[in-house]
Structures are given as C-alpha cells and as structure tokens.
Structure 1
Amino acid sequence: MLKFLKILSTQRTSWLLLILSGLLLEGCALYFQHGMDLSPCLMCIYERVALLGIVISGIIGFIFPRFILIRLFAIIVGLFSAIKGLLLALKHFDYQINPGPWNQCSVLAEFPTTIPLDKWIPYMFNPTGSCSDIVWSFLGYSMVQWIIFIFSCYIILFSLLLISQFKKIKQQRMIFNES
C-alpha cells in the first residue's frame, strides 16, 4: 500500500483530486452560508482557513509532484493544516456540547494584520454566527462532527503519504525483445 501511495503522490491527478476535494468542501461551506442562509461562526471561519491550507498543499504538490523536497513540503503543509483544522473543530465541538458564558468563541476574527481575510473577502471569512449553535445536522451528526470526521480522514491520508515517501521503490528495467 505504501508503494502505491508513493507512486500516486508523484502524479498530478492525485494532487488535483486533493485540490478538488478541498474546493468542493469550501463550496459546500459557501452554499450553507449564502444558499441556506446559515451564519458561520468564528470557528467555522478558522476551519475554512485550515481547509484552504489543504487546498494550497494540493496546489504545491500539483505543480511539482516529481520533486521529493517540494512533495514533502506539500504533504507537511497539508498534514499541519489537517491537524490544525481537527483541533479547531474539536474546540468548536466543545463549545457546542458545553455552552456557557465561560466557554464561547470570540465574535470578531483575529487574523494577522498582514492578512486580514475578514476584510479582504468578507463574504467568505466574516463570522456572524455563534459557535455554540447547532444549525444543521445530517444523519444525526452536526456539521462540526462531520468536519471532525473530514479532517481526521485528511490526517490519515497525509500521514500515510508522509510515511510512504520513505518507502524504497525498486526500479525495474524492461527489455523488449522483438522476434
């Protein structure tokens, strides 16, 4: 399996699928916000940024899939983003299951002054909801629980990809005889 994953990581198609999965999830988030009129909270916004980190790692891997150092960098960026996203989602879930005045998220986004995403792209990164509200569920699980599952899947994927990069693949020479 590790050999298969290493070979897969050297192909642009797999990185493109990673990019598309992240963009699809970002599109779903925007549909929930603008199509279904669900207000995103601060943690939702931060989780979107973590998901964009996964998309960026896919773009890096897509551009240079054959260069091991750049591929490793892309995998590490993706793994870091997935772990950060999972930690944010777990904290968000804590806000939902233990609501109270002492356990709330901030109302304002705290992006660095050099990258104020909430000012640059407010339709995507401006929080307007409350972190403790459960506004949507599917199959009995809240949106945050689904996000925990999604980031966990990304962590498993990137961890296996990282481990697979150290797998040696034997080069076989094919000799074709024409008779």
Structure 2
Amino acid sequence: MRQLTTYRNLQIFLVLMAVIGMSFALFYLQRHLGLSPCPLCIFQRVGLIVMGGFALISALFNPKSKVIRLLSWLGSLLGIGWATAVAARHVWLQHLPADQVPSCGPGLNYWLDTLPILQVFKEVFAGSGECASVDWMLMGLSIPEQSLILFSVLLIVHVLILMRIVKSSK
C-alpha cells in the first residue's frame, strides 16, 4: 500500500483522473450525448486542467526539493479547489426553487467579448437558468453533483500528497 501512495504515484493518479474527467466531459457528454457545457461547467474544466497540468509536471520531473514540491502542490490544489468551489456553486444553483433561479443571459462567449474579465467572473458565478437545468443524470446524480464528488476525492488525495511532502523532510 505504501508503494501505491508515493509522491510520484499520487501525482500520476491525479493526472489520470484529470484525463478521465476531461475525456468523459468532452467525448461522452459533449460529443456523444450532444450536451453543451454551461459557463460553470467550463470553469470546472479549467480547474481540473490546471490541477492535471501541475500534477503532470510533478509526475514527470518528480522534484526532490521540498519547496518545489510544495509550490507544485499549491498550484494543483488551487486548480482543484477552484473546480470544487465552482461545482458546489453549481449544485446549489440546481437545487434552488424554480422561482429563485436566475434568468438565462447571453452565453460565455458574448461576455468574454464584451465585458471586462472581472465582470465575466461575476456574471458566471451569479449563474443562469442554463446552469440550473439538469440535462443528464447517472445513478440519480446530476453532472455537477458527480463532479463535486470526484473533486472532493481529489482534494483528499491532495491531503495525502501534503502528508508525503511533510514526511519526506524527516
């Protein structure tokens, strides 16, 4: 078991989870089922990609320096933390009563073309009607609920990685 939870193996696990998550989103949900991602879904994907990028760099180079490992871990944690927070917000929007759901507005591309970036973030996090709709479920869970579970597991893996980093100095 200890061999499975080495620093490098945990990073490889994070990379695999990012690849599986993005493949599921792009190839199954988007291409096969024809579901278009809402702005919150896109932001979740960005967080997963950031986490996967930092994990890939860590897995490939397996830095020995505790400082480099901590910096890489922090970047990865920020990515998955972002994705988790966005997924939680998305789940919250989906569970609002119908009369409290924000109305649908223009799409993310329009906002990016016409608004300053901070205003885009504000609009996305305010949510819209499209973010509150449940288009597909698996085992009674919506896509954001499934994502929140996956991201929570990945946060736990980050705790294990931090434990490895701290333990490596002893």
2:24 aligns to what? 28
Q: Give the total of aligned pairs.
A: 152
What stretches of structure 1 of length at least 5 have no aligned partner? 117-128, 171-179
Secondary structure of 2:132's aligned partner: coil
Give the deviation of 1:5 after TM superposition: 8.0
2:73 aligns to what? 75
Inter-partner Cα distance in structure 2 for 1:151 and 1:81: 10
Inter-partner Cα distance in structure 2 for 1:15 and 1:24: 14
Q: CA RMSD in A?
A: 3.0
What stretches of structure 2 of length at least 5 have no aligned partner? 118-128
Give the deviation of 1:101 after TM superposition: 6.1
> Structure 1's 5 and 68: CA in aligned 2 closer, same or farther, altered over 3 A?
farther
Quick one: which amino acid aligns to residue 153 of structure 1?
V
Inter-partner Cα distance in structure 2 for 1:147 and 1:100: 25
1:95 counterpart = 2:86: no
Q: 8 Å contact 2:101–2:132 — kept in the other structure?
A: no
Q: 8 Å contact 1:53–1:78 — kept in the other structure?
A: yes
Moved over 6 A (4+): none
Q: 8 Å contact 1:60–1:71 — kept in the other structure?
A: no
Residue of structure 2 aligned with 1:48, choices 20, 45, 50: 45
Q: 8 Å contact 2:90–2:144 — kept in the other structure?
A: yes
Q: For the pair shown, which has the larger CA radius of gyration, 1 or 2?
A: 1
- What is the TM-score when the length of structure 1 is the normalising length? 0.72
Q: Percent identity?
A: 25
Residue of structure 2 aligned with 1:39, choices 20, 36, 42: 36
- What is the TM-score when the length of structure 2 is the normalising length? 0.76
> Structure 1's 74 and 104: CA in aligned 2 closer, same or farther, altered over 3 A?
farther
